[in-house]
Homo-oligomer: A and B are copies of this chain.
Amino acid sequence: MDTTDPPTVPARRKVTVTDRRSGAGVPFVEVTLSDSPGARGPVPNAPVLLYDTSGPGSVPTEGLAPLRLPWIVARGDVEEIEGRRPTRRDDGRAAERRDGDGGMGHAPGGGRRPLRSTGAPVTQLAYARRGEITSEMSFVAVREGVAPEVVRDEIAAGRAILPANVNHPESEPMVIGSRFLVKVNANIGNSAVTSSIEEEVDKLTWATRWGADTVMDLSTGPDIHTTREWILRNSPVPIGTVPIYQALEKTDGRPEELTWDLYRDTLVEQAEQGVDYVTVHAGVLLRYVPLTATRVTGIVSRGGSIMAAWCLAHHEENFLYTHFEELCEIMAAYDVAFSLGDGLRPGSIADANDEAQFAELRTLGELTEVAWRHDVQVMIEGPGHVPLDKVAENVTLQKEVCHEAPFYTLGPLTTDVAPAYDHITSAIGAAVIGMHGTAMLCYVTPKEHLGLPDRDDVKQGMIAYKIAAHAADVAKGHPGARAWDDALSKARFEFRWEDQFALAMDPELAREYHDETLPAQPAKTAHFCSMCGPKFCSMRISHDIRAFADERGVDATTAVELGMKEKATEFRAAGGDVYQEPSPAR
């Protein structure tokens, strides 16, 4: 498996399609195809445009250009503020002890001062509800190939979110909702045991290069604040976090010492940095904790168990629940979206769809309504580990109790028995739950349950999940989704090997695998594949039928139906040409 940037694939290039409304260039990858053979000469194939998340590319120390800043400013509803002053503590105990500068010098991005609402909510939901089509929405409409009104209406109805913190102007707008392409999130982040800032920025770039639609920074190790700053300034995709992780670092790992004030301060810190959505485990209620006691795997969500520990230690209700309205006010002031966390998600097949899980889900539905009252965008997190026969129920119930807010699931894994292959156990569940209407899939890497993903794990996880998401798009009949499959299959059928590689999700690996069996250059133009070899190729017969029809000037079906007898004679006469061993270069 390659872990370096693959060489450029000549037939692929980044292009932009101008969104007339915002004037912005919407990014795509254009795949140029060679001609198809035709009876009367070559027939051109239109280039294929693929959705592209890799961004314009950045020098990490400088960060990306603030694409959305003019749009944000033009709306006239935010102001520069002094902002909360970062402290050593934000970077965790290691930084406090070290009293150093956080590891990588000053953060990129030119030290912009944070923006905040001057009063009213500055969320895409608020704008959509007012009937406005923002530049972000029109950008997304071009990206998804739909009318901007569709984007606006789906957001206004709460069925989609457009995560776009006013302090993350570098992000290219994208939308998460069941009417749109299924999205994939990649988790990165350091932990107490591994990783540096450089590595995390590199993982971010690497993940978006393989199609990550959003990235969550789940760092729990040193330099949390600084790492996140570097990630945000270099990220062309929305960034999500779980603020309770950083808050816990500030209490030195003691959940019982967490307070609402500390959490609020951490959320403001992150909102001012530009985090686009945050996982909030506000549905882990005190009374639900006992429901997990008889599970095979108890509570496996880190955030869920932090809040459960807090509830038990204080015998009080979850402060994220009791302070939820205040949370909403902060979120609305920066347009941070909620990702309402499933702290009680099942951690094993045995625990799927149980009372604890669904009790929390119902609470998330109530909180969705609260958030919406504050014009805050909401998506809902889902499992986890679920056997295939119980997957659909998750979506059905989520849609019902959460009023069609977008669903965002972790897999689910469809079996527990294959650690080291959980990108596969879960891609199965992800594709199925995606087909049923889940809007975003959180990837799982081969290291799940075992360790922290490295660069190649990020790639393996991304590829498995882009497959799951695309399989779901095709199954849902998303307009245009199947065009990619059809273009590749047509290229395959016509032995246009270079086109097949260029259209592949991983062009370089496809070519490498082909070359292992048939390395010579002529094999790339061969009218056979390495499966059957040159002697008899199963796909040739269909070409012969078509060629015969073309010569007669009729369609293929008619040709065969009307002219079977003649065709039989033709075939026998042409036999030498059709079935004898062609030279490999043919």
Kindly report which residue of chain B lies nearest to residue A351, judged by CB atoms. Answer: B489
A302 interface residue per 8 A CB criterion = yes
* A581 partner residues in chain B, CB cutoff 8 A: 253
Q: Let me know if A435 and B389 touch, CB within 8 A.
A: yes
Q: Is the CB of B297 within 8 A of A492?
A: yes
Verify B256–A575 contact, CB threshold 8 A. yes
Residues of A in contact with B, size category: 35 or more
Contact B568 A312 (CB under 8 A): yes
- B493 and A298 form a contact (CB under 8 A): yes
Stoichiometry, copies per complex: 2
- CB-based contact B503/A536 at 8 Å: no
Question: Is the beta-carbon distance between A532 and B470 smaller than 8 angstroms?
Answer: no
The listed residue with most B CB atoms (<10 A of its CB), out of A306, A432, A503, is A432
Report the bound CA distance from A448 to B350 in whole Å. 34
In contact, B193 and A470 (Cβ under 8 angstroms):
no
- A349 touches which one: B482, B546, B565 (CB < 8 A)? B482
A315 adjacent to B567 (CB under 8 Å): yes
Flag A73-117 by CB within 8 Å of B: 1 or 0 each: 000000000000000000000000000000000000000000000
A468 at interface by CB-CB < 8 Å: yes
Most buried by B among A256, A492, A513, A532: A513
Residues of B near A493 (CB, < 8 A) are 296-298, 347-348
* In the complex, A472 has a CB within 8 A of chain B: yes
Interface residue A192 (Cβ < 8 Å from any Cβ of B): yes
Residues A512-536 near B (CB distance < 8 A): 512-514, 516-518, 529-536
A450 shortest CB reach to chain B, Å: 4
A295-326 vs B, CB cutoff 8 Å, 1 = contact: the mask equals: 11111111011101100111100000000000
Provide the bound-state CA to CA distance between A415 and B347, in Å. 29
Q: Does A545 interact with chain B (Cβ within 8 Å)?
A: yes
Cβ of B449 and Cβ of A304 under 8 Å apart? no
Which B residues lie within 8 Å of A18 (CB)?
Answer: none
Query: With a CB–CB cut-off of 8 A, which chain B residues contact A300?
Result: 538-539
A340 at the interface (CB under 8 A from B): no
Beyond the given pairs A424-B464, A447-B513, 7 more chain A to chain B contacts, judged by CB atoms under 8 angstroms and listed by A's residue number, are A193-B518, A295-B542, A300-B538, A305-B538, A347-B489, A449-B531, A450-B517
Provide 22 A-B residue pairs closer than 8 Å at the C-beta atoms, listed in order of the A residue: A193-B517, A193-B518, A220-B532, A220-B533, A255-B536, A256-B571, A256-B579, A290-B560, A291-B557, A306-B538, A349-B474, A388-B472, A415-B467, A420-B512, A424-B463, A425-B467, A428-B428, A428-B432, A451-B513, A451-B530, A451-B531, A452-B517
Task: Please provide the 4 A-B residue pairs with the shortest distance between their CB atoms, ordered closest to farther.
Answer: A298-B542, A293-B556, A451-B517, A348-B489
